[in-house]
Amino acid sequence: MPVVRPARLRAGPPVRARLAPLFLGALLVRGRRTVTAWIRAPGLSEQFRPCYTAVAAAGKKADTVAAFLVLWVVKPLVRGAERLTLAIDDTTTGRCGPRVQGAGLHHNPAPGPAGAPFVYGHVFVVLGLLASHPAWGVIALPLSSRLHVRRKDLPGFHPRHRPEFRTKLALAVELLRRAKPWLGLLDRPIWFVADGAYAKADVLNPAKALGMTIVSRLRKDAALYTVPVPPPEGRRGRPRIYGERRIDLARRAGQRRGWSACLFDLYGGREAERYKTFTATWRPAGGAIRLVLVDEPTGWVAYFCTDPAAAVADILGTRADRFSLEITFRDCNQNVGAGQQRVRFIHASVGAFQVCLRTFTMTEAWAWGRDEGDLVDRSDSPWGSLVRRPSHADKRRAWRRELLSDEIHAALRPGVAEPEIQAAVDRLLSLAA
């Protein structure tokens, strides 16, 4: 199979200088959001080859860009938080064409009206930071990602550019290890929440070694044991870590006694939950955990936290906040246009996805401290509700309006020449069309 070989990457200021206009182009472009459209929007058409090189470099230097993003963009948004909460999940970006490196057939997490069980494209493992806005609730800010390539798709690569096979669990651990130094500078406790697919010893043990508290869903047939009784004073030998008696979750959930009901802050409102909580030991977690059984309409569900002293409200609240990462995936695909870039080489695909994630995070950071009235105006839509949280599309449009307004005012300054006005008008018309 023919492979598109990459151009030689140019390190240094030229690549870094082109990344900012590419981010601007990803924000201003309308319609199909290809890399070519990103290049046209800031007026870099004559430098299209170096711009494609910069996109590939953004994929190779993703961790460096993410570190600057945390320190200069995300840090002010979590200044008053008691702890930092990280979320990890994987998402798909649909692609087309047999020569797209790293693309394959994957299970579709969001089939939609068509109900297609599979999607052809890329799978990215994404690390996000959950930040709580006083009015808009919890928003997941993507920090970094890794491309997962199936083992059966690796032979399609040229041996020179073939990546090493790594599972999604290994990629998740790599993201956590990379993020620890960035977040360690903020000097806050770190919690980590993920779906039940990542609740494995391969992820839990490294995360605990990094000093993180993990919250996730637990399998109903998990091999749980009781908490061991402390040994009598003076007894020699290492104390037991796991108890002797096995805990059957189905039997615990089926018992009528022990259930409690309370109101919790979930999904932006007060929700009543019927729950049962206790401590147990679990080998994949390396010791004692806090279990919370929740009685939901479809049946009971089990959640756990590696901190046995954690409160039920914190566990259920963190579990509910993880859903904001799913909303971020939807906005990145629909509004930012992740996956629409027509690039084939693996580093260009990774770099294009990184640009989409950075655009989402910077848009949310720009709109964080602004009034809702400045972000969206619904006076021309009397049929809709005037009091509603602005969506990410509203924030993008507001930032786009401000950028274009600044450019118009700059073109109308005193003493400006007619050719400059004409050039600004042509550029604005091309963006509007």
Percent of all residues in the chain with a pLDDT value above 90, rounded to a whole number: 41
Residue 302 sits in the same domain as residue 220: yes
Alpha helices in 62-128 (DSSP H): 62-69
Domain check: are 303 and 380 in the same one? Answer: no
End residue of a domain, out of 273, 295, 311? 311
Give the pLDDT score at 240. Answer: 82
Reported as type and span, the H/E element at residue 425 is: helix 418-432
Answer whether residue 229 shows pLDDT above 90.
no
Q: Establish if 329 belongs to a structural domain.
A: no
Residue 378 lies in a domain: yes
Determine the structural domain holding residue 271 and report its residue range: 216-230+240-311
Give, in order, the Cα–Cα distances in Å from 345 to each of 7, 164, 303, 351: 10, 16, 40, 10
CA distance 30 to 52: 19
Does residue 224 lie in a domain region? yes
Task: Give me the pLDDT at residue 332, please.
Answer: 93
Q: Confirm if 10 and 53 have CB atoms less than 8 A apart.
A: yes
Mean pLDDT for the chain overall? 85
109 located within any domain: no
- Compute the Cα dihedral for 19, 23, 29, 33 and give only its sign: positive
Min mean pLDDT across 10-19, 178-187, 284-293, 367-376 is at 10-19
Whether 301 is covered by a domain: the verdict is yes
Neighbours of 80 (CB within 10 A): 7
**Rounded CA separation 342/340 (Å):** 6
Minimum mean pLDDT among 6-20, 49-63, 188-202: which range?
A: 6-20
- Asked if the structure places residue 89 within a domain, the reply is no
**Residue 58 to residue 122: CA distance in whole angstroms:** 17
Residue 3 is predicted with a pLDDT of 39
- The two tokens of residue 212 are 């993180």
| Residue 80: half-sphere exposure toward Cβ, Cα within 13 Å | 3
Q: What is the mean pLDDT of residues 2-10?
A: 39
Residue 412 binned pLDDT confidence (cut-offs 50, 70, 90): low
Task: Tell me: do 221 and 299 sit in the same domain.
Answer: yes
Domain closes at, from 294, 311, 328: 311
* Domain termination site, one of 311, 342, 361: 311
Residue the block writes with tokens 């259920």: 316
Residue 404's pLDDT band (cuts 50, 70, 90): confident
Summarised one tens digit per residue, pLDDT across range 374-398 is 888 777 676 666 567 889 999 998 8
End-to-end CA distance of the chain: 38
Distance CA 397, CA 97 (A): 31
Query: Tokens for 95?
Result: 């692609």
- DSSP notation for 308-337: TT--HHHHHHHHHHTHHHHHHHHHIIIII-
One domain, residues 223 and 305:
yes
Q: Cα–Cα distance between 318 and 137 in angstroms, integer? A: 13
409 is a domain residue: yes
How many domains are there within the chain? 2
Closest CA to 251 of 273, 274, 278, 229: 278
Nearest to 88 by CA among 143, 149, 166, 164: 143
Domain membership of residue 383 (yes or no) is yes
**What is the C-alpha separation between 337 and 356, in angstroms, rounded?**
7
